[in-house]
Structure 1
Amino acid sequence: MTHARPFSDSAETKAAARARRAQRWAWLTGVSLLVCGVIAIWQEPALAPEVHDGLQGLVTLAQGVIDGNETVRAMLTRLDGGVDLAKDAGLDPVTALLLRAQN
């Protein structure tokens, strides 16, 4: 008795599946590198002063969203131990979250 191989296991299908996995990993790697670069610039403004200044504006925008949205505020409260605690310390929530992640 002979068994026929299913056509779905062809080399082309396997190569296409590998290509899709490689594209997903490449996308994830690219996003991770971008996030690491932005965090490095946030930590050391001398790396790219213009980008750091832009991040300051982004922090102001994020603070406005956090202050205006109770759902986001509750999520950050669960994440970093309290946005109000960060405000009392004179820090914006993003910096407080980064400092908490560092410790």
Structure 2
Amino acid sequence: MNKNQLKNYRMFLEVQNTLDHNNTTWSGNPKFTETKKMLDIEIDGIEILGEDASKTTKGMTRDKNLIRNALEKKLVALAGAMSVHASITQNETLKSIMITSKAAL
């Protein structure tokens, strides 16, 4: 991940951590619970892809490009979920900084 991607990934982890520590506040809302599960799945996927991307491949740039593309797709999907969360909670600051396309990465 580049510096900007890492910054966004850390933000996703902070949101996940905040939600985990305050689950009594939102756990009664089925739609929000579903979104939180999707967030956890996407973060797990990013971690797995990040580990694969950081391995030495000895010239296998094609595989690294495939992993990078998959990671970008995961980050965009996760940002979309975060944007929905920001809209629901009326958090305009969070909504304004969400990435909405691979090009923005």
Q: TM-score, normalised by structure 2?
A: 0.31
The structure whose RCO (Cα within 8 Å, separation 6+) is larger is 2
More helix by share: 1
Determine which structure has more spread, i.e. the larger CA radius of gyration.
Answer: 1
Q: TM-score, normalised by structure 1?
A: 0.32
